Structure 1
C-alpha cells in the first residue's frame, strides 16, 4: 500500500494557507496595522523581552518555565561577528566553537550535549541536518537569537535534550530606514553590507538586504567569499489577516581554514618537533575546495478563525554543498609521534544536496473558567528532510601523502578519489500533534504540555543495505511558577525523544533516544533593563549514540546513558546610567552513566565536553562623551577530555576581549572589537576516534573595525 508522506500533507497545507482563504469573509476596519510578529520584534535595551521559544506564544522570558537567553541584533551590530556561534560564547550553559574557527558551520553544545544538528531552528522550524547536509545561517540574516535550555520535544518534536537555538529572521515589521556597513579584521576578512526597510501604502511592509564577505586568514590557502541576500514583505488584508514571505540565499566559495583535525601531540601536548604553528593547515591547496549554494523560503500567515488566533509557518529549503579536503589523521608512527614522524592524511570529498519542507500550524485562544485564565495552544507540525549524498575517499581508504609538521611542503599528487563509500538518499519525515495550556490564577502560572510524534526514517542505499524504520513517542512538560512581581521562581519537569541517526549500523534496531529533565530556577527582574536567571537542572539521556571514525568509515555506536547535572547563572544588569554588567557561569557534572560496550568509561565525562564555563563583560558609557561605549570582558573555558576513558586531558584557559562603539557623528557609528586580546594559545577541544586523536586550535587574537552609516 502506498503511504501518504508528511511532505504531501505539508505541501497541501502550505498551498491552502499561503492565501487568506481561511480569514473571515466580513471586511474589518484596518485601524492601526501592526506588521511585526510579537516575540520576534527587535530586542532593544529590554532585558526580558517577549519570546516565542519555549511556549510558542508571545510570553515574557520571566514567565517561560525554563531557562531562556535572548541575544538581540544590537549585539551583532556592536560586535560584527562572522558567525552565530561567536555570540553564543557568553550564554550560560552553551559551549560554542568547539572546533575552533570554522567559517562554514555553527557549532554549539547546550548543557553538555551536541545541539547543532537537531537543536538548530529558524523562526521556530527545525533546521535538521545530518552529515554534511547542513543549513548555514549567517548572523546578517537575524533579528535575534534565542537559546532555550533543556528538552524541547513537547513543542518541537525530535530535538536535542540540551536545548535548542532558535534563529529569528529579520522580518518586515513596518519599520523604515536603511544602513550601509563596511569593515575588516586582522585575519584578512573584509565585508560590506546594506539593508533597507519601509512601507508601501497602508498595507505593505518590506525589508531587504545584502552582504558580501571576503574570507581570508586562519590558515586558508587562498581567499574565498560569501554572499548573502534576503528579502521579505508583509501584506495586511482588509479582514485583519497578515501574510509574511521571506526569502534568503547564501553562496560560499572558499578553502578550508587551518588548525583542524590536528593530533593531540603538537597541539595540546608537546611533540618532538614542538608545537604546530598557529592555524597549521594539514590540507593541500591543490586538493581543497568548499562550495555552498543555499536557498530558504519562509512564510508566516496570521489570521482569526472563529475566536482562535491562527498562525501558520511554512518553509522550503535547499542546500547544495560540495567539498574536497585532505585532513590530518594522526602521525605516520601512530598516536604518539616518534622523531621525524610526519602527519598522516586522508583524502576526502563529498557532494551533498539537502532539502527540507516544513509546516507548523498553530491555534491559540484565551479561555476563562472561573478564576483561572487559560492560554490554550493546539498545533500540527510536519517536516520532511531529504539528503542525497555521495562521500568519496581513495581506494581502500589509502592515506594521502604525509606532511612534515615542522616544514610542510604542499602540492604532491594525491590518490584518486575512486571509492564512493556512501551513496544514497536519506529521508526523515515527522508529524507531530501538540497541545499546551498556560493557566494563570492569582500569582500562580502553570504550564502543561503534551505532544505525540510519528517519525519515518529511511535510507535508499545505492551501494549497500537500506534502512526503513518508524518511531513514535509521547513527550510532555509540567511546570509551576509563582510571580512575586520582580521575582519568579519556577520548577519544571519534561521529557524528550530523538530518533537515532540515519546510519543503518545503529538505527535499524536501536531504540530512539529518550530522556527527561527536572529544572528548578528563579528569574529576577529588578528593572526593565536588568534580568538575573539562576537554574539548576538534572538531565538523563538514554540510548545515546556517538559516531566514531574507524579506518576512515563513520562507525556509530550506542553509548548508553549519559547524565548532565548542573547550575547556571546569567545576569544582564544595568548598574547605572554609565555601567552595564553581563555575566554568565555554568558548572556541570556530565558523566557516562551506562555503557555496556565499554564498562571502563562509566562514570567518566564524554569527550570534548567542558563542564565549567564563565564570562563577564563590563560596558562603560561616559557621560562626558555622548554616544561612546567601552567594553572589557573575560571568558573562562574549563578543562575537558580528548577521550571517553578520560586519559587525555585538555587544559583550561582564560581569554580577554575588548570593544568600543562610538556614534561619532549624526547617523555614523564606528565599532572596534578585539577578541583574545592577549593572543592566548589554547585548544578548543579534542576527540579520539578508535585510537586516533583530533584537536582543534582555538582562535587567536582578532581585531576588527567597522563603520555604519544610517539613513
Structure 2
C-alpha cells in the first residue's frame, strides 16, 4: 500500500470488533473480518496522528492477527498461522504482515462481522466493498446460517429483500423462488461465482449445511457472468478448508419424523506441509406433510487446498449427494382457485430419485502487486428418475363429480455441464485515479437428455379414496437431446478518484444450441439448431461522503440462453433478455456494525421462463415482456451487546406488457406488492442469570398478490413467525465446552393460507420444529 498522510484518530480501548468499525468509519477503509476471528479479543485503542495502515497495525498489537490490503481501500483481518508467528504484531510499530486464507476474487467469499457482510467478489468478481458496488447487494453470513439453521436455500434467503419463497407450497424437489418478481430458479443460482446450468428437473439442489454463506447481487448481471436473469444472482458459497483445525458433529430430530446427523471437519493435513482439508457430510431420513412424498438425503462434500506460498493457492471442491422425494408434491385443486384435502400424487407411484455430483477447482496466483490470475472451473452432472401421478378435472369428473381424472408420468433426465472462467486482474494508478481492471474469458458446455412417457390412471374416488393401488409404469415414448455451448469475453474497470468510484464493464457472448427430438415409437427424429450472440453491459457510479453515506446509480443488462424445450410451441426456448435502471444509497453507520441500504429499480424483461399447470402437469413456458418497478430497504446489524438483526421491506409492481390475451397490463401472479421481514437474535451476556442462552425471533409479512395472470384470484396477506432457542453448556461448567443444544421453529403458529401461482393453488408450508445437539472441538 502506498504511503499516505497521517490523520487524527481517537479510538477508545475495548472490544476489537468495535475498534475496527470505528477505524473504518474514521479512515474510510473497508475492513473485513470474520466475527469468530475477533470474538473475545480486546485492544488498547489509540489516539493521535497516524496513517490508516499504522492505526490498524497499532490496534492489532498483541492480538496475533494479521491483515492484508486487497485494494487501496479494502483490507482483510484474519488469524495468523503458527508458521507466521514471527511476523505477528508484538510492538507498537506498524508491520505489513503476510495474509493467511485470503480468497480474493475466488468464489465470492464474504468478508463479514456477524450478520453484517462488508465485501465479496460476487458484485464485481474482485473483492469489492459492498458500499462501492453500484447495485443492490445483500449477504447471508455464516453467523446467520448458524442462528437460523435453515433446512433449504429458501429458508436461508427468506429474510433478504425482494425474495419471494414458498410460492409453490412444500416442495423438497427444488429451491424455486422469485426476486423482484422474476423467477431465478433456472438462471440465478450460482455456486462459487460459477453458473449452474439447469433444465427441467435438472436443478442443482443446495444443501445449506454445506455453505458458509450466500452472496446476493440483485438485478441483471450479465456484464461479468453471462447467463443470468433479471432478478439477480444468488451465489451460494461452498465451505472451504481452514488453516485452524475445527471439528463438529450434530444430531437433529424434527417434525415429520425427520432424523439427521451431520459432521464438518477441517484444518491442516499436518503440521509442516501447506495442505488443508475440509470434509462435510450428512445423512437424513424424513417425511413431509404428503403421505406420498419423502425428504431423504445423503450428502458428502470434500475440499482440499494447497497453498505453497502467499501468492499461490489451489482449492479443489467436490460433492456427491442423493435426494429422494416425490414426483408431485401438491394437492388436487377441486375448483379453480381452491385447494382440496386430496393429494394429487399417489403413494403407489410418486417418487423422485435425484443424484448430483460436482468436482471443480479455484486457482489463484499473484505475479506481483499489479497482476493476479485466477481460474475457476467445475464439472457437474445430475441424474433424475421421476415417477408421478397428477390430477385434473376431465371427462370422468364431468360424468361424476366425486371422481377425479388422473394421469401418470415417467421421466428420466440427465444433465452434464462444464464451466470454466479465466480471469486476469490488474491494479494500478494513472495519476490520481486508481484502477482495478478485470478481463476474462469463460466457457460453458452443457448436455441435457430427457426420456419421457405418459399414461392414464384410474380416477381418484373422493368418497372412498383409492390411493395405493397398482399403477403401471408408462413406457418411454419420446426423447429430447440438447447440447449448448456458450463462450463469453468480458472486461471491467473500477476507477476510483477521491470519493468517487466508477464501474464500467462489458461482455459479449456467443451461444450455440442444438436440439434433437425423437419419437421412440416410430424412431422419427427432428432436429433444430440455434446460434445467438449478445452484448451485455453495466455502468455504475458511487460517491462516498465524508460521513459514510454512499449514493449510487447504475444501468445493467442481462442475457440468458435457455436450456430446454418449449412443449407449448414445439420449439427450443428463446433467450431471455433484461435491462435495469437502479438508484440507491448505502450507509455503514459510524462507530457501529450496522449497514443500511435502500434502492429504487426499474427492470424490463423479454421471454422470461415460468411454470404453469397445463392439464394437471407443471409445465415450463415463456412470457413476452414484463416490467418490474419497486423499492427495497434493508438494515443488518451485529452489536457488541449480543443483539443481531436483519430487517427488510420490499415493494414490487410487476406487470405484463406483452403476453397472452386477457393478461396484458395485468400483474404477474404470486408477486406480493409488499413484503417485510425482521429477524433478531440475542445472546445473553456473561454475568447475567441466563448466561449461556441465545434467543431468536422473526416475522415475515407477505402482502396481497394475484393468483393468476388474469388477476381473477387474490392471494391474501399473512404474517408468519419463526423462533429459535439455544443453550451453551459451557455456561454450566467449562468441561462441557463445545456442547450446545438449539431448537429452531418456522411458522410457529402453523398458519396454512392458500397461495395460488399461475392459476394453481398450494398450501403454505406448515410448522416445522428442528432440535439440534451439537458438539465442537
Q: What band does the TM-score fall into relative to the shorter chain?
A: 0.7 to 0.9
Q: Write out per-residue CA displacement over residues 309-343 of structure 1, whole angstroms, 9 at most, x where no aligned residue.
A: 00100111111111111123346677xx9984333
Q: 1:708 matched to which residue of 2?
A: 774
Matched, 1:588 2:645: no
User: Please, which of 207, 212, 225 is the counterpart of residue 156 of structure 1?
Assistant: 225
Q: Provide the residue aligned with 1:220 in structure 2.
A: 291
Contact 1:325-1:349 within 8 A present in 2 as well:
yes
TM superposition shift of 1:504: 6.0
Conserved? CA contact 1:47–1:528, under 8 Å: no
Give 1:48 deviation, angstroms.
3.0
Distance 1:642 1:297, change over 3 A: same
Alignment of 1:65-76 (within 5 A): 65-76=134-145
1:108 to 151, 158, 177: 177
How far 1:517 moved relative to its partner? 0.4
Distance 2:570 2:435 in 1: 41
Report the Cα distance in structure 2 between the residues aligned to 1:194 and 1:478, rounded to whole angstroms.
44
Rounded to whole Å, the distance in 2 between the matches of 1:147 and 1:69 is 5
Quick one: distance in 2 between partners of 1:457 and 1:615? 41
- Check the 8 A contact 1:458/1:502 in 2, yes or no: no
Q: Are 1:661 and 2:661 counterparts?
A: no
Counterpart of 1:565?
629
| Alignment partners' CA distance in 1, 2:113 and 2:609 | 41
Instruction: Deviation per CA, 1:99-123: give whole Å up to 9, x if none.
Output: 1222231111111001010111000
Residue number in structure 2 paired with 1:300: 362
**Match runs of 1:409-488 below 5 Å:** 409-414=466-471, 416-418=473-475, 420-421=477-478, 423-463=479-519, 464-484=525-545, 485-488=547-550
* 1:15 paired residue number: none
2:218 is the counterpart of 1:132: no
For residues 542 and 261 of structure 1, the distance between their equivalents in structure 2, rounded to whole angstroms, comes to: 32
* Cα deviations by residue, 1:380-434 (Å, 9 ceiling, x for unpaired): 111011112112211xxxx42222446532123435513524x121122110000
Pairs aligned (count): 660
227-236 or 526-535, which moves further after superposition?
Answer: 526-535
Which is further off, 524-533 or 146-155? 524-533
Gaps of 5+ in 1: 1-28, 270-274, 689-693
Is 1:364 paired with 2:425?
A: yes
> Which residue does 1:403 correspond to in 2?
460
Give the distance between the partners of 1:326 and 1:257, measured in 2 at CA. Answer: 7
Q: Deviations over 1:357-395 (max 9, x none)?
A: 01001111112011100110001111011112112211x
**In structure 2, do the counterparts of structure 1 residues 494 and 446 end up closer, same or farther at CA, with 3 Å as the change threshold?**
same
Structure 1 residues 321-332: aligned runs within 5 Å: 321-330=384-393
**Any conservation in 1 of the 2:549–2:587 contact (CA below 8 Å)?**
yes
The structure whose RCO (Cα within 8 Å, separation 6+) is larger is 1
Cα distance change, pair 458–261 in 1 and its aligned pair in 2 (3 A): farther
SS in 2 for 1:75: helix
Mapped partners of 1:503, 1:222: distance in 2: 27
8 Å contact kept, 1:122–1:166 = yes
Partner of 2:68: none
| Farther off after superposition, 209-218 or 440-449 | 209-218
1:239 Cα deviation from its structure 2 partner: 8.0
Picking from 537, 541, 560, the partner of 2:605 is 541
Q: Residues 34-45 of structure 1: matches in 2 within 5 Å?
A: 34-38=100-104, 39-40=108-109, 43-45=112-114
Is contact 1:501–1:507 with CA below 8 Å preserved after alignment?
Answer: no
State whether structure 2 residue 446 is matched by structure 1 residue 385.
yes
Q: Please give the alpha-carbon distance, in whole angstroms, between the structure 2 residues aligned to 1:461 and 1:509.
A: 11
1:65 Cα deviation from its structure 2 partner:
1.0
Closer/same/farther in 2, CA of residues 418 and 507 from structure 1, 3 Å limit: closer
Computing the radius of gyration from Cα coordinates, the structure with the larger value is 2
Task: Map residues 50-199 of structure 1 onto 2, 5 A cutoff.
Answer: 50-199=119-268
- Structure 2 equivalent of residue 515 of structure 1: 578
Residues in 2 aligned to 1:239 and 1:42: alpha-carbon distance in whole angstroms: 19
**Cα drift, residue 165 of structure 1:** 0.9
Aligned partner of residue 154 in structure 1, secondary structure: helix
Distance of aligned partners of 1:683 and 1:439 in 2 relative to their CA distance in 1, 3 Å threshold: same
* Aligned counterpart in structure 2 of residue 374 of structure 1, from 417, 435, 443: 435
TM-score (ref. length: structure 2): 0.80
Indicate how the Cα distance of structure 1 residues 406 and 49 shifts in structure 2: closer, same or farther if over 3 A, else same: farther
Aligned to 1:636: 701
Deviations 1:633-678 (CA, angstroms, capped at 9, x unpaired): 2111122223211112222211111111222222112111111111
Q: Deviations over 1:4-26 (max 9, x none)?
A: xxxxxxxxxxxxxxxxxxxxxxx
Q: Alpha-carbon deviation of 1:503?
A: 2.0
> Corresponding residue for 1:319?
382
Secondary structure of the residue aligned to 1:78 is helix
For 1:695, the equivalent position in structure 2 comes to 761
Contact 2:604–2:626, Cα closer than 8 Å, also in 1 = yes
- The whole-number CA distance in structure 2 between the counterparts of 1:515 and 1:254 is 34
State whether structure 2 residue 553 is matched by structure 1 residue 497. Answer: no
Deviates further, 499-508 or 425-434: 499-508
Residues 276 and 405, structure 1, Cα contact 8 Å, conserved in 2: no
Q: How far is 1:55 from its partner?
A: 0.4
Distance of 1:84 and 1:198 partners within structure 2: 26
Q: Pick one of 665, 680, 702 that aligns with 1:603.
A: 665
2:308 match: 237
Does the Cα contact within 8 Å between 2:484 and 2:563 map onto a contact in 1?
Answer: no
Moved more, 452-461 or 433-442: 452-461
Which residue number corresponds to residue 262 of structure 1?
332
- Report the Cα distance in structure 2 between the residues aligned to 1:180 and 1:528, rounded to whole angstroms: 34
Give, in angstroms, the shift of residue 561 of structure 1.
1.2
1:281 to 322, 339, 343: 343
Unaligned runs of 5+ residues in structure 2 are 1-82, 88-97, 520-524, 731-736
Q: Quickly say closer, same or farther: Cα 1:504–1:105, change in 2 above 3 A.
A: closer
Secondary structure at 2:477 match in 1: strand
For residue 606 of structure 1, give the secondary structure of its aligned residue in structure 2: coil
Shift of 1:296: 0.5
TM-score (norm 1): 0.87
More displaced 10-residue stretch of structure 1: 537-546 or 489-498: 537-546
- Aligned residue for 1:525? 588
For residues 571 and 251 of structure 1, the distance between their equivalents in structure 2, rounded to whole angstroms, comes to 37
Contact 1:465–1:504 (Cα < 8 Å) also in 2: no
| 2:183 and 2:609 in contact (8 A); partners too | no
User: Secondary structure in 2 aligned to 1:48?
Assistant: strand
